[in-house]
A and B are shown apart, each in its own frame.
Chain A
């Protein structure tokens, strides 16, 4: 077991550094080649999420990334934002993933966690929609106002509302990607922040 810990100042530019380190460690640690892109993408998503969260809360605390090889390759990305308001899509999804993922039709990430669990089986096409086969239903607001662009001038929503919508949309997309590429994913909310834990198998 060897652990490398990164402490990233919450700047978007540093997310790439975390991706590069994760890729390098995963390769050396024996993660199969066909999973390396998933590692890079997932670690990037988790770090981007944490960095955005810190920036949104104007926190300058570091985002920590713990990479461990031995018995698989595990990456834990932790933010320090304790109390995101309840009812946001992030919280709902995080609660479901960390809870008893029984596959209930409660949401996007729930359906993925319920469908794959920690069995280690890879789904070629992740079962995104809960109990359905129409992938667009997994993201109900895909074509709707939640994706409103910054320069949208048609609605009554002000700049703040649009920023909120963009935030919610990026959270949903990021979690969808994480759930789609990581079979063994846990999102744990705690008093000191959220920990996104991802694990991949290694050869030998």
Chain B
């Protein structure tokens, strides 16, 4: 398995740390984990992609699905992503307009009053 997932609660958010590679092989693992978190009542998710080594459209698709699911449940799902490589991917796909993207977990959790 080339993906590592760790979650923790922080300032009213659940921060999911994603490390490694998110692709057609590992994306289902990410999807299952986020589904578990949402089903377990964690409705304010911050997905931290800071240490992601690689992510492709399959990974992005999982995040979009998770965002929609979170919204259906009255929650939210934001991204932390300081890497230009990943930001470029979000721009190419137009998803930078769909997600709230922060540079750090601190910024994401500090923005709790914004929405």
CB of B92 within 8 A of CB of A126, answer yes
**Smallest Cβ-Cβ distance to B96: which chain A residue:** A135
Asked whether any CB of chain A lies closer than 8 Å to the CB of B104, the reply is: no
CB of B57 within 8 A of CB of A170, answer yes
Asked whether any CB of chain B lies closer than 8 Å to the CB of A154, the reply is: yes
Interface residues of A (CB under 8 A from B): 12-13, 15-16, 19, 37, 40-41, 44-45, 48, 51-52, 125-126, 128, 135-139, 142-143, 147-152, 154, 166, 169-170, 173-174, 176-177, 180-181
Give the secondary structure class of B's interface. Answer: helix
**With known contacts A152-B69, A180-B92, A173–B60 Cβ distance under 8 A:** yes
Residues from chain B with a CB closer than 8 A to the CB of A150 are: 31, 35, 65
**With known contacts A15-B24, A173-B57, A174-B57, A180–B72 Cβ distance under 8 A:** no
Asked whether any CB of chain A lies closer than 8 Å to the CB of B112, the reply is: no
CB of B65 within 8 A of CB of A148, answer yes
Measured CB to CB, the closest approach of chain B to A176, in angstroms, equals 5
Residues from chain A with a CB closer than 8 A to the CB of B37 are: none
Residues from chain B with a CB closer than 8 A to the CB of A44 are: 23-24, 54, 56
- Pick the contact of B21 from A16, A126, A135 — CB < 8 Å? A16
**With known contacts A51-B24, A147-B64, A166-B65, A176–B72 Cβ distance under 8 A:** no
Measured CB to CB, the closest approach of chain B to A143, in angstroms, equals 6
